[in-house]
Amino acid sequence: MFTVETGSGFWNPIIWAIAIFVAFLLIYILRSFGKKEYKKDTEQIKSFLSGNPEYEKEKMHVKASNLYWGFTTSLKGLYTILRRMHTGNTSDYVLWFVIILAIFLLIEVL
Amino acid sequence: MIYNIPYIAVAALVLIGLYALVFKRNLIKLVIGVVLIESGVNLFLIILGYREESIAPIYTSSPGGVMSFPVPQALTLTSIVIGVAVIALMLSLVIHIYRHYGTLDVRKVRRLKE
Amino acid sequence: MNMPDYTIPLVVAIPLLGAFLTPLVSRINDKLRNVFVIIVLALNALLVFLLASDILTTGIKTYVFGAKDLTYPIVRILFEVDAMSIFMAIISSILVLAAVTYSWAFMKENTGLDKYYTLILLLTAGMLGMVFTGDMFNFFVFLEITSIASCALIAFWTDVGESVEAGFKYIVISATGALFVLFAVALLYGQYNALNIAQLSSVIQYTFLDKIALVLLIVALAMKAGIVPMHMWLPDSYGSAPSTISIVLVSATLASLYGVLRVVFTLYGNALSTIANFDISVNVFIGWFIVALAVISIIVGVTMALIQSDFKRLIAYGAVAEIGYMFLGIGAGLTALGTAYGRTALNGGIFHIMNDALDVGLLFLVAGAIYYATRERSLDRLGGLARNMKYTTAFFIIGLLAVAGMPPLNGFASKILIYESTFQLNPILAIVAILCSILLLAVFVKVFHSAFMGPQLPKYKDVKEVPRSMLFVMGVIACIIVFIGLFPEFVINNVVEPAANALVGYSEYVSQVVAGGI
């Protein structure tokens, strides 16, 4: 019912779920050893930016385009190629179709 | 050789249609490219059903002799009807694109890219 | 349960008739129309499920239109439904039903909804026809019905330039693809004087012209399934269409994928060797070609999704990567047809069709919910929505984990089958697949961070949770995702395995028509 045989192994969500449950239980137990110093409506809820003033909300939120900046910059070569590939031109879409058709025809017929 | 002329016409129509789709800039010409491919394929279907010296396959008024094959003609009729719908839809979209973009140049109609 | 044979055409005919009745019903009352469309599709889904239970127990069913006693079956159309067809039909009917129920609240403020519902019903008829038909020309006709209806739906918001542009691109691509399909059908017809898939399959010689027809069919249908580098229309159209249409389009795309499967495994089943043979043979050529395209799809889909800032475009690139996974499983299964792991790969690929449809569908619905609540599509301008939209956030997390293949959700169950079997074919394939799966998680974590996390932005202070009907639809799909995740073996044994058997055992499909005297 639960176990999927993959040929070289198996996958059972129930075992996984039990493992995760145990892990969360451990986390919870460890967490309960912590100190309970948190107080609502005091200075504690304010964000601390090394003494700098807090910006407005919109500036504090990291925008989607800025996430993974390092990743995209280090793969700049790949992304230049990919951006050049995605021209948005309808003719190019058909051109890619023709190219793949030609390649496949050559492979298949030869 | 003479028997191959229709097939050469089919290849020519399809290739010219693809050429128009790939290299032409005007959206209307792109639509014409699709129409050309469609005509090529339809012509191909029709000549598949043709037999030498054959007449139209209408049984009730047949003078006798070889009839060309009716199935491809039925297929072609269906294909033509579908083609009309596709082309009407395409042209109506071209009109809308012209309203929004003010141009029919395919290289300028690309706000959606990357 | 034993269903009569006429259930098969009924499944296609009900949405078709419903489509033409919708404008009339719409004249009476808008609410009545919505109820009518939901009832029609629910009835249809019920029929599909009943038919499925019948076919999975008793085997292939056929229905012949027109003359029944012809000795030489050429001139008639027949529907032939096996486990694979019904598998696709189940997916389509679930997704369409979800889309229509979701539309009630989502599309409320739009005009022209009678046309919208008519087109959705037509699209449903087209998709179900594509998966049910046993005739190549009829397949082309349904393919065109599907493309025309989807194109009109993509361009439904004609007041937005991008939608119209996407619609135009889609129709150019699909018209070209469909015409090449017709060309291939004509090539086959000219040689064998038959249009019936089963009959063609029994006589096919794999001549030079057959090879050309095979290439035309595979490439044209793969383009309609959105495989890289012919995928560019897919983010455009998924991204610009209304969210409800994106989810219907997912299943229309998968119907084209079904076309590829049917062509390779059934139509050319004769030419495939069913014994594991890694010398140069048809399997290896086509298989490796599909695997190569699939790997490129996975890589390009994921890397392009990473830099998107439009919510739905990002999901669409994710969908491209997911299609790559399906093709990876199927291609690996084709290359190693006859071996045990080839079989596992095929199972994984087919199972992933279902999982991808549900996962990507759920994500599109969440994107729609966010658009509904904030009227904003750019991820750069969203933020902190988890505070206002708790349920949507929960559904998004489920969709995110499922699509990225995190255990214990359904995406993982099919992906592990693909990983472990492709590893035996070539370890590099599995490594790329796993790495890209991790990247896919990163992509959706980015969405999660930028749309749901972060400080509450002042402009979204008054954002409310979406209406209950939309939450209900998302909840149902999320429940199905969790169910498949927890009971993968149940689904594989009951639905996926018979579908894979139906593909590999093409001779059964053929003998139903050719030797069975139908």
Q: What is the pLDDT along chain A (110 residues), one digit of tens a residue?
A: 677 877 778 888 888 889 999 999 999 999 998 887 777 777 777 777 787 777 777 777 788 888 888 999 999 999 999 999 998 899 999 999 999 999 999 988 77
The answer to whether residue B107 is domain-embedded is: no
- Residue among A88, A94, A95 minimizing CB distance to B113: A88
Q: What is residue C351's predicted lDDT score, i.e. its pLDDT?
A: 95
Mean pLDDT by 10 residues, chain C (518 residues): 85 94 93 95 95 91 75 70 94 95 92 93 95 93 95 93 94 95 94 88 87 93 92 93 94 94 90 65 84 94 92 94 94 88 92 94 94 90 89 94 89 92 92 94 92 86 90 95 91 92 87 66
- Cβ contacts of C100 within 8 Å, gap of 6 or more: C37, C38, C41, C117, C120, C244
DSSP state of C155: T
Query: Which of C62, C47, C139 is CA-nearest to residue C93?
Result: C47
Nearest to C283 by CA among A108, A103, A105: A108
Strand partners, C337: C339
CA neighbours closer than 13 Å in the CB half-sphere of residue C141: 19
Residue C306 near chain B (CB below 8 Å): no
d(CA C300, CA C55): 38
- On whether any CB of chain C is under 8 Å from the CB of B37, the answer is yes
Longest dimension (CA), chain C: 75
**Which CATH number fits the domain that encloses residue B78?**
1.10.287.3510
B85 lies in a domain?
Answer: yes
User: Which amino acid, residue C128?
Assistant: L
Residue B53, in any domain of the structure: yes
Distance from CA of B112 to the nearest CA of C (A): 6
Does the distance separating the beta carbons of C490 and A11 come in below 8 Å?
Answer: no
C152 and chain B: CB distance < 8 Å anywhere?
yes
Tokens 């005007």 sit at which residue? B26
SS3 A63: coil
C310: helix, strand or coil: strand
**Residue B114, H or E segment:** none
- How many distinct structural domains can be found in chain B? 1
User: Does residue B110 lie in a domain region?
Assistant: no
Does the complex come out with an ipTM higher than 0.90?
yes
Tell whether B109 is covered by a domain.
no
Q: State which residue of chain A sits closest to B17, comparing Cα positions.
A: A94
Using the beta-carbon criterion (under 8 Å), do A2 and C223 form an inter-chain contact?
Answer: no
Per-residue confidence (pLDDT) for residue C72, from 0 to 100:
55
Q: What is the pLDDT of residue A46?
A: 74
Q: For the purposes of burial, counting CB atoms within 10 Å of the CB of C500, is it exposed (0-12), middle (13-18) or buried (19 or more)?
A: buried
For CA atoms C357, C358, C359, C364, give the dihedral sign.
positive
Q: Which one of B30, B82, B93 has the shortest CB-CB distance to C164? A: B93
Note whether A78 contacts C: Cβ–Cβ < 8 A. yes
> What interhelical angle do C136-154 and C161-192 show, nearest 10?
180
Cβ–Cβ gap A67/C450 under 8 Å: yes
Establish if B72 belongs to a structural domain: yes
Q: How many CB atoms lie within 10 A of CB C281?
A: 16
Q: Do B34 and C186 touch (CB under 8 A)?
A: no
User: Whole domain around residue B44: which residue ranges?
Assistant: 2-101
Structural Rg of chain C based on CA atoms? 22
Residues of chain B with pLDDT under 70: none
Smallest CA–CA distance from B112 into chain A, residue: A88
Q: Is the peptide bond before C408 cis (omega within 30 degrees of 0)?
A: yes
